[in-house]
Structure 1
Amino acid sequence: MQSSDDPTFFSFGDWTVRPAQRTIERQDERLVLEPKLIDVLTYLAGTGGEVVSTEQLLAACWRGTFYGDNPVHKTVALLRKALQDDARSPRYIATVRKRGYQVVAKVAFADARERATVGRRSWNDGSPFRGLLAFGSEDSDVFFGRARATAELLRAIRRSDADGCAFVLVAGPSGCGKSSLVQAGIVPSLLGEAGHDGLRVSAWTSFVARTPTSPLIETLAGALCRWTPGGRPVFVDSERHALAKALANDLDFVIDRIERETAGRDDRLLIVVDAMEGLVTQPPDQVATAIRALDRLARSGRVIVLGTCRNDFYPQLMAIPGLLALKHDGGSYDLGSPSPGEMAQIIRLPTRAAGLSFDRDPQGERMLDDVLLEAACRHATALPLLQYTLQALYEVKDDDGTLTFAAYEAMGGLEGALAQRAERIHDSLDARAIRAFPRLLHRLVAVAGDGVTARTVRWIDIDDDEQHAVRQLIDARLLVSLLEDDEPCFTLAHEALLRHWPRVADWVQTHRADLRARARIAEMAARWAAEGQRREHLIPRGQLLADARRLSREAHPPLDADQRRFVRLSLRHARYAMMTLAGMAAAIAVLAVISTFAAVNARKAERHAEARRADAESLLDFMLGDMNERLDALGRLDLLDEVTHRAMQVMGGHDWKSDAPEAVLRQAKALREIGEIRYARGDSDGAIQAFQSADTSLAHLVKEHPDQTEAYAERGKLAYWRGQIAFGRGKYDETKLEWRNYLEQATLRAKLEPDVPDAWQELSYAHNCLGSIAQRTDNAEEATSEFDISSSLKRRVLGMQPAARKMWLELADTMSWEASVEQQRGKLRDALGHLVQEREAVHAARESGEPTNLWLYRRALSDLHLARARADLGMIAQAESDYTAAATTFAQLVRDVPDNRKWQRDLALTRSQQGWLAYGTGDAALALRRYADAGELLQKLLAVDGKVNDWRTLLAVNRTWESMAHLRLGDLAPAATAANDALSLFGDVPATAASSRVLRALADMTAGEIARQRGDASTASTHLDRAFTELRPRAEKSTDPRVLDPYVRIATLLGHQDEAAPYLERLRQAGYRAPAFETFVSHTNQGKMQ
């Protein structure tokens, strides 16, 4: 036998495996295995005991040259025979039913580290690393660490093709390797001689959707002209413009040509649409045309369409008409960051393939690849930094091919390598290039919400100084040149530069508002031009128009000529609108004065006064009816404030009894809408006054005219709003009383008007309200019943009015409440299913054209609900993405309408929950910044109306979480202050407010742990015992993670681990994997307390 000094061997149970020689040996036995057997055995040995699917093995060891999974089963059977293993009682390789295979033997490598393969493969084409560039199909031999993702994505492609819509959208965080996975993992597998599982591609093409240099449909046409199956083009380049027209207007021609050119072949054509997040910054009409073409191609049976997108742009992408349906009928794949084992393969295996090695630290005896692995695993988006660092190490390697510690430390480690080199390059630019650098950033950077992406820029669009700078940056490989639609272009080498180069990141933060404004102006100008330059597409009054005025005068680089003309006409139109609005306001004021004067002098001019009053009431109908509805969709209730104030003065002191029913209804409706405006702006007392006045008038009306169905509707709405105010103040008994009154009024109306959809719609709202209060007071059965009734009634309305898109938003609201009940029952996966349906309902409600603020708000709520549900299930990357999407939209809405308190409240809640997620993933400093943002918003809300219990509770929870973050950092003084603030904010919580009592117990628990660490045993015991007493009886019969999580914590802190164990098991069975809880359990198991 060979010496154990041989670095290419490893032990597999009691066997020693030498892949280079294809042998396994033990004691006096020595067997030579076939190449495929040794490949599979070596791969399985490096998986760290994880379950490996047959698809994963096929992708890694057969590279796509197979049909079906029989080769895997046969090979594993032969391996077991060689190892003398038994499938029924495995000692080496176990079969996991319906999942794959798992190594159960102990595996140890010669250097004590795991590897996915230890055999060397030849790579003689220079560096095996790609720096900031994506891996291409020609790099597949050094593309490691993504076998699982490759297998899963191939399976998704195969499934979507079989289902008749061959489209798959690959979504993931920026820098997770989406483009590399497709180009170096998927494309080679599908282009292979046998393809994947019988699905083969004969030709492929791609284009980047990120800010194409010509109309999107022409970019797509140019990509299709690069299809050359068997060396013969499907479309020749000279017919590109004709093809673009056909893609827009004659898709039958396009499909016929594809079928004719691929006749008699079973293989497919592949098109990859990279960086689809770029679609959100392009003219909607161009995007819609391109999506229609891609949809038809994917359903043709001849073409596979793959798209990639950053998941922080996923909600905006799904709002694009047609794309949601295409993804639904096709498929999607969520690519996460590599696991530590996969990251190890990414670092080590290309190095071995190229005959390189890693240095050993002479002081600490650590290997450089271990240090790189540890650093990479600390960051969710480390892949670009890692590849850049490995490439930089390769460029200064020793003569013997060693990547050295000295070079790594000189470049500032993984985090500093990119920033340090980029800054050195910037400093080396001459004065002319440095002056042009900020102008280049304006052209290269695009902002959408909180997201930042790179743009592709044409050379002909930049001046001489900018061209001079670009050439130097391309030579330094910070920019890359490319050809798009036969146009020379350039773009950033990787978007990681936007995040990890401090100079650029700071510049983006400083200029974010201008970048966002420029993007919106460009998009709106393009749409205005495409829609025939109609006035309704000009920029409306507001912050954007003010920004447009400034940018048209001061921007560097300037807005283009078309955009400047668009801004000029928008400003002119806004001036006309202001004059018109001023005239309307003056007319309203005059009419109000005339109406009041006429009422005082009614005896002298009764007919004249009645006519004037009718005019005023008609105007009020318009202002508080149609205009209110439109402004409600925008959230701009502030514009009606002065009008409603004057309307209340006009109607004050009116003799309701003597009025006709129509007049009473009109005035009651006006008061109700006034109350809604007051409530939305934080004036609850003013709202109650308006609601009570309206209800008094309607009570007289119903008594005298019991057949007035609209009066029941109005009284029901008034009962809803009174209940909503009580709910916000934590008065749940009063809430239930008002909402039962709401149900009674809605039921009466539905009986009187069974054929009117609005009657059933109002009845559905009443049941939804009762479900929500039942859920809040821990009555899950009643809540489920009420939500089911509400949902069925809303579907009934949709059946009566299929075009009522707003009803989809109401149905989405019920789905979110149903999800909350399932969460309370511990059915977290079922809850997630409801929330996915909620998002689909929200998208179904999207009207054509620009989304309204109401729709944007509802979409943001859906994102927030999904984020918390996914965080509870441990889906951290997706939760982060959903939280970012929600926060971006809420922040945009609050900027647009700064006095809408509901939107401010939900932005604060999102920031607070973002902090809780950051705390759970170990970033207490980031958590504290999020909590500070949330706290500032909530303090401002309470300054407006301190009686809103909901706001106080949110602030109390935020302070509790803030206290926990300080505690983790060891800052006991601010931790104690925050915990005491939280307890003070909670105050005496009523027994009916179950959820608030649980939250207060968490604050007590935190205060107790702080006191314990400060050595104050008496105070600690008081707080901890009070929390335990509160939570113990609630946990006994509960399946709600919101109760079980804090109970397991308090029981553990008090040393009752045995008592906590069954409740921990309930959480495990529910799939509960909230990061903060997982961290607590993990540290507890290690004997440490959080």
Structure 2
Amino acid sequence: MSVKGDAAFFSFGDWIARPAQRSLERGKERVVLEPKLMDVLTYLAGTGGAVVSAEQLLIDCWHGTFYGDNPVHKTIALLRKALKDDARTPRYISTVRKRGYQVIAEVAFADERLRGSPSMHTWTEGSPFRGLLPFDAQHAKLFFGRARATSELLAALRAQWNGGCAFVLVTGPSGSGKSSLVHAGVIPSLLREAGSGGIRALASTSFAARSQGLSPHDALAAAMTRWEVSGRPIFLDTERKALAIALREDISSVLDRIAYSLHHGAQKRDGDAALLVVETLEALLTSPEVTSPESSAFIHVLAELAKSGHVMVLALCRNDFYPRLMEIPELLALKRGGGLYDVPMPTEGEIAQMIRLPALAAGLSFERDAVTERQLDDALLESACRRPGALPLLQYTLQALYELRKANGLLTITAYQELGGLEGALARQAESAFTRLDVSAVDAFTSVLQRLVAVSSDSDEVTACTVRWSDLADQAQRQVVQHLVNMHLLVSLLEGEEPCFTVAHEALLRHWPRVADWVESHRTMLRSRARIAEMARRWLNEGRRQEHLLPRGLLLADARALYHSVSPPLIGEQRLFVRRSLRGARIRTMLLVATCTVIGMLAALSSLATIAARRAEISAEQRRADTEDLLDFMLGDMHERLDALGRLDLLDAVTERAMVVLSHGWQTGEPDDVLRQARALREVGEIRFTRGDLESAQKAFGSADASLHLLSAQYPKLPAIYAELGKLDFWRGQVAARRNHPDEAYVAWMAYLADAEQRAALEPAAPDAWLELSYANNCLGTHALQVDRLDEAVARFNQSVALKKRILSIHATDHKAWLELADTLSWLALAEQQQGNLRLTLATLKAERQAVFAGREAGPPTNLWRYRNALADLHVAKAEGDLGFAAQAAMDYSDATASFSELVDEIPDNQSWQRDLAYALLQQGWLAYGMNNPRLALRKLSEAEDILRRLLAVDPKVADWHILLALDHNYESVVLLGQGQTTKASRLIAAAWKDMPAQGNAKATVSAHVMGAILDVTSSETAAARGDHVAMSAYLSDVIKSLEPRVLTSYDPRLLDPYVRASILMGHRNDASVYLQRLNHSGYQLPMFESYLKTSQSRH
């Protein structure tokens, strides 16, 4: 189109407007207008009768040189005066209340291509087109066709500001013009003196969330150092590192600094703020370096800035990533309430403005086809409207046409055809640039492309990466990049003071066939690379745990190929992740082969030692690493698996060998090595403890504890140290408890609590830390229970239960946590029982059994689960018996003893299982006697005695086994006494007294007092049966003397039962009535106790 003479006039109702002459003509009337009036009239005439807001007129006609909309209203009034129009009965321009102005006169342009152009020939600084580059503030005068979108986005930001959260997420397809809209439309409007509708930006900065070598926080800090108010920076460039730390840890100080600078750097008005633009927000998902917690923390910082009242935030992202971005809870909450603007695709009229008005401003014209009379701008408009997302192609084609223009500024149809039209321009230019490369550069092009292109791991989205120049391998690659930069296909930029480059626009990846074909042919490997990057990020975030390494399969095979290839490349942390995964796969393969071919673990060690010997000449360091990994596996994973099966006896030889290896001092002193050695020593101690070798266990625990305390002095903030120290304190307490040294156990478990609290303070969000804290409370609860501090015990157990439930609220399928919860519930029930809450005790124990059911894994039940299930049945049976539910208790005892018997038959060397079987049998026998079945009672008690004698033959120092044997002999004595066998009964009760372990100087516990009282009551009954009433009275007096200080405030059935029986036998039935009433209130109806009461009443 060539603009000459009067071709620019248009009719406006009955007036003829001539913009070039700034005149209005009607008949013989002629009115000359001021330039701004003619600009506004021309703009309104080109709107096609649409309502235009005052803000939109300010943006397009004044470019923000006034504050407020007064100049708009004044100009409209002057136009009406010149047109001889009336605002109340308009014929030309109508006021639409609260919306703007509307042309109601009939308008006709002599050349419709001039519709909407407020001025001509205003650009003299080169090309008015941007190619693949976005429009910025310097090119705002050429940014046409987006007045509507600019006005809408400003309105959205203004509404968010007024709502107290100045954040808007700007979404749109790639190529929809998001960056240009913000940088050439919104930012200039906000930076002008007038601002926009009551909000104004005193400073502005932007940055890409995808910055090479920088975390999002570091990139944000770098951008904030570019804020300037009245020429003075808010943050100095030298403060960048400190600012990044403050954004993470002390955001309030950052906000105070911004507020101070805004108030003292300019004459601040209400609505003034600093503007922050975040480009490519989707990088939070696509960048392997950015972890999920880091993304959440970054969004939290943006939220704090947006809600401060000092910062306005615009974040840009591609809309194909929008659903996945909404999986970040902090971002979902931040954009609620109007914080989202989806950039609309331009209308045909808006695209026409993008084509014609920049050309008009630069004095360019479009050629007209001499045959068809069709102009080049019409062809461009038709092609752009036919193809969605064509704006990058349109701008690139216009730029290419500009470079091929004639001397008189004519853009020709011939050049357009040579370019291949709109669809082929970019591809042809890119291919032309490629063909100019020499042979070495062509080979290097593929290597460059591998670094530039990324494919999402779970979809087909293709994105561009920012690459550092320093990452280029050789001169040939640098030559390729520089050539493509010169051809405007790539752009060079500075990211965090690091020279980088990236594609000028992602449209290049879609519309250059050579690149699109390469992406399609390499899509599988690119997707594998993305998946590996995500898994490596999770592995690093989870503390490099072994279970997060790549499993055997296709992905591991792809990882191996990528590791040994440069197509596409892996970065350092990803290579480490793949290397560890490959090593883990090799170790698992070796162990699987060794396990299948060698029955004993000692043979497996010998085989691996042979392998290590053959590798000795390669590297001594490799041998050490192999030994560490093997010990970790055998004393870690293998220990857990065999523990679940109850077959820790298979590790006896392994632990003996491990103690020798660990004593050689091969550790380097590094934290990981010291922790590994301490962990191995602790696991050795656990195995020896389970096998009953307390001396070896104590030695292992002591060695590990000494090395860790030295390490903690050097690294006081390392959570893993306190995690391991806590476990050692737990086991040292277990050894003391097994040796019947409760005071030593208490000291160890208090240290355990301190270590667990220290770790929880260092890792407040780690479920493992919560679990250790629950274990510590559980241990202290058992000690409080043992020394009769019931309220403290209940509080400790409830705290432990709460911590485990907190873990299960996050990991509901954590089978181990369910079983641990069941264990704590059993201890809580024991404390409730001693408080006399027998019905609550039964409810808690049933909850224990339900937790055990929830802890069962898929497939056949493990031995560990079978043991916990049998233990739950035993606990419920005991509680049911105390409440008098004898029939149900008998069934549950039967289930428990059957389960324990099966486990002991399968694993006869497990002493804990044997002990629990003996206890279940003697309780089953006692209940049977209460149900008038003395024959069954004697049989069960005899079976329990046999088991306990076998255990004591192995280790006669275990006090708990002696106490159970004494209780068994006591029950047998009662049964025989009931059958009239006084002599045997007397012999058995005498044996029971001998079975009781000596207390020494230790203070007697409640359990010891109760056990002594039980034996005294039975001894008094045997003495009475022999006619020795003096001895009978002595025994009963001992019971009353021992228990009387304790029963005064107690509701514990263990204490009240023998005390009531002794009082009745002494003839003090009235004295016993208050305690009998407590038992009745608690629901205590143990069959033997009820039978005794009935017998005593009949005697009375």
Q: What is the TM-score when the length of structure 1 is the normalising length?
A: 0.52
One-letter identity of the residue aligned with 2:393: L
Structure 1 residues 118-129: aligned runs within 5 Å:
118-129=118-129
Q: Tell me which residue corresponds to 1:566.
A: 577
Report the equivalent of 2:505: 494
Q: Does 1:311 align with 2:297?
A: no
Counterpart for residue 746 of structure 1: none
* 2:297 equivalent to 1:260: no
The Cα shift of 1:62 comes to: 2.7
Alignment of 1:80-99 (within 5 A): 80-87=80-87, 90-99=90-99
Query: For 1:280, what is the secondary structure of its paired residue?
Result: helix
Residue of structure 2 in register with 1:424 after alignment: 432
The answer to whether 1:551 aligns with 2:551 is: no
1-side partners of 2:371 and 2:394: how far apart?
24
* Conserved? CA contact 1:129–1:391, under 8 Å: yes
Deviation of 1:245 after TM superposition, in Å, equals 1.1
Counterpart in the other structure of 1:1025: none
Q: Distance in 2 between matches of 1:53 and 1:493?
A: 35
Amino acid at match of 1:35: P
Change over 3 Å in CA distance of 1:77–1:538 after alignment to 2: farther
Distance 1:86 1:330 in 2: 39
Structural mapping, 1:414-563, within 5 Å:
414-448=422-456, 449-464=459-474, 465-540=476-551, 543-563=554-574
**What amino acid sits opposite 1:276 in the alignment?**
L
**TM-aligned CA deviation for residue 400 of structure 1:** 0.6
Q: 1:299 aligns with which of 307, 311, 326?
A: 307
- Please state how far the C-alpha of 1:48 moved relative to its aligned partner: 2.2
For residue 113 of structure 1, report the CA deviation from its aligned partner.
Answer: 3.5
How far off its partner does 1:91 sit?
3.6
- Residue aligned with 1:7, SS: helix
Q: Structure 1 residues 452 and 631, CA, compared in 2 at 3 Å: closer, same or farther?
A: farther
2:212–2:500 CA contact under 8 A, matched in 1: no
Deviation at 1:541, TM superposition (A): 5.6
The Cα of 1:430 is off from its aligned counterpart by: 0.9
SS in 1 for 2:6: coil
Corresponding position: 1:186 with 2:186:
yes
Pairing 1:68-79 to 2, within 5 Å after superposition? 68-79=68-79
2: CA distance between counterparts of 1:46 and 1:137?
25
Cα deviation for residue 312 of structure 1 reads 0.9
Taking the aligned partners of 1:4 and 1:534, their CA distance within structure 2 comes to: 75
Quick check: 2:61–2:118 contact (8 Å CA) kept in 1? Answer: no
For 2:559 and 2:101, locate their aligned partners in 1 and report how far apart those are by CA, in whole Å: 61
Contact 1:66 1:197 (8 Å CA) reproduced: no
Which position in structure 1 is the counterpart of 2:168? 168
Q: Which amino acid aligns with 1:414?
A: L
Q: 1:329 to 1:295 in 2, by over 3 A?
A: farther
SS in 1 for 2:382: helix
3-state DSSP class of the match of 1:202? strand
Q: Which deviates the most, 95-104 or 266-275? A: 95-104
Inter-partner Cα distance in structure 2 for 1:207 and 1:338? 26
**1:484: Cα distance to partner?**
0.8
CA shift at 1:340, angstroms? 0.6
Cα distance in 1 for residues equivalent to 2:517 and 2:314 = 34
- Does the aligned pair in 1 maintain the 2:94–2:104 contact within 8 Å? yes
1:236-287 CA deviation, whole Å, 9 max, x = no partner?
1112111111111111221122122222442321121112122211322332
Aligned residues: 610
Structure 2 residue aligned with 1:912: none
Partner deviation per Cα, 1:164-188 (whole Å, 9 max, x = no partner): 2111111111111111111111111
In structure 2, C-alpha distance between the alignment counterparts of 1:539 and 1:475, rounded to whole Å: 42
Letter in structure 2 aligned against 1:53:
S
Q: Offset at 1:547?
A: 2.7
Partner SS state of residue 301, structure 1:
coil
Aligned to 2:357: 349
User: C-alpha displacement at 1:389, in angstroms?
Assistant: 0.7
Partner of 2:407: 399
Contact 1:481–1:491 (Cα < 8 Å) also in 2: yes
Q: Which amino acid aligns with 1:377?
A: C
Letter in 1 for 2:460: D
The DSSP-based 3-state class of the residue aligned with 1:145 is coil
For residues 615-643 of structure 1, give each alpha carbon's deviation from its aligned partner in whole angstroms, at most 9, with x where no partner exists.
xxxxxxxxxx99998699xxxxxxxxxxx
- How far is the alpha carbon of 1:539 from its aligned partner? 3.5
Q: 8 Å contact 1:432–1:469 — kept in the other structure? A: no
What is the one-letter code of the residue matched to 1:454?
Answer: A
Return the alpha-carbon distance in structure 2 between the equivalents of residues 146 and 189 of structure 1: 13
Q: Please list every run of 5 or more consecutive structure 2 residues that lacks an aligned counterpart in the other structure.
A: 597-636, 646-807, 816-845, 860-1100
Which letter maps to 1:271? L
8 Å contact kept, 1:169–1:307:
yes
- What is the deviation of 1:533? 1.6
Q: Gaps spanning 5+ residues in structure 1: where?
A: 592-624, 633-660, 675-1090
Secondary structure of 1:17's counterpart equals: strand
Residue-by-residue CA offset, 1:123-154 (whole Å, 9 max, x unaligned) = 11111111111111111111111111111111
Query: For residues 26 and 235 of structure 1, what CA distance do their matches in structure 2 show?
Result: 60
Distance 1:70 1:160 in 2: 24
Look up the match of 1:619. none
Q: Secondary structure at the match of 1:11?
A: strand
Counterpart in 1 of 2:274?
269
- The Cα of 1:457 is off from its aligned counterpart by 0.3
* Aligned partner (choices 365, 368, 371) of residue 373 of structure 2: 365
Partner of 1:807: none
Matches within 5 A, 1:4-15: 6-15=6-15
1:948-963 equivalences in 2 (<5 Å): none
2:825 aligned partner? none
Query: Which amino acid counterpart does residue 268 of structure 1 have in structure 2?
Result: A
Residue identity opposite 2:104 in structure 1: V
- Structure 1 segment 199-348 matched on structure 2, within 5 A: 199-264=199-264, 265=266, 266=268, 267-282=272-287, 283-284=290-291, 285-328=293-336, 331-348=339-356
For residues 961-984 of structure 1, the C-alpha deviation after alignment (integer angstroms, 9 at most, x for no partner) is xxxxxxxxxxxxxxxxxxxxxxxx
Secondary structure at the aligned position of 1:134 is classed as: coil
Separation in structure 1 between the aligned mates of residue 112 and residue 500 of structure 2, nearest angstrom: 48
Shift of 1:535: 2.9
How many Å separate the matches in 2 of 1:121 and 1:161? Answer: 38
Deviation digits for residues 47-66 of structure 1, max 9, x if unmatched? 12333233322221232344
Contact 2:191/2:203 (8 A) holds in 1: yes
User: Do the aligned partners of residues 89 and 261 (structure 1) sit closer, same or farther apart at CA in structure 2, a change above 3 Å counting?
Assistant: closer
1:564-590 CA-partner distances (Å, limit 9, x unpaired) = 221232345567789899999xx99x9
Residues 218, 244 of structure 1: 8 Å contact kept: yes
Structure 1 residue 505, shift from structure 2 partner: 1.0
- Report deviation, 1:357: 0.8
Report how far residue 200 of structure 1 moved. Answer: 1.9
Query: Match of 2:230, SS?
Result: helix
Amino acid at match of 1:278: A
**TM-score, normalisation: structure 2:** 0.52
* Stretch moving more, 555-564 or 333-342: 555-564
Give the aligned partner of residue 956 of structure 1. none
Distance 1:76 1:498, change over 3 A: same
Q: Distance in 1 between matches of 2:80 and 2:810?
A: 76
Distance 1:330 1:304, change over 3 A: farther
Q: Secondary structure at the match of 1:171?
A: strand
State how far apart, in whole Å, the 2-side matches of 1:514 and 1:395 are: 39
**For the residues of structure 2 that align with 1:93 and 1:544, how far apart are their CA atoms?**
68
Tell me the amino acid that sits aligned with residue 440 of structure 2.
R
- The answer to whether the Cα contact below 8 Å between 1:292 and 1:322 also exists between their aligned partners in 2 is yes
- Give me the whole-angstrom Cα distance separating, in 2, the residues matched to 1:495 and 1:384: 9
Decide which moves more: 389-398 or 85-94: 85-94
Are positions 1:195 and 2:195 aligned together? yes
Query: Do 1:66 and 1:198's aligned partners in 2 also have CA atoms closer than 8 Å?
Result: no
**Distance in 2 separating the partners of 1:224 and 1:17:** 49
Distance (whole Å) between structure 2 residues aligned to residue 386 and residue 367 of structure 1: 16
How far apart are residue 106 of structure 1 and its match?
Answer: 2.4
For 2:437 and 2:380, the matched residues in 1 are separated by 31
CA distance in 2, matches of 1:201, 1:5: 42
CA contact (8 A) 2:211 2:496 kept: no
Highest CA radius of gyration, 1 or 2?
Answer: 2
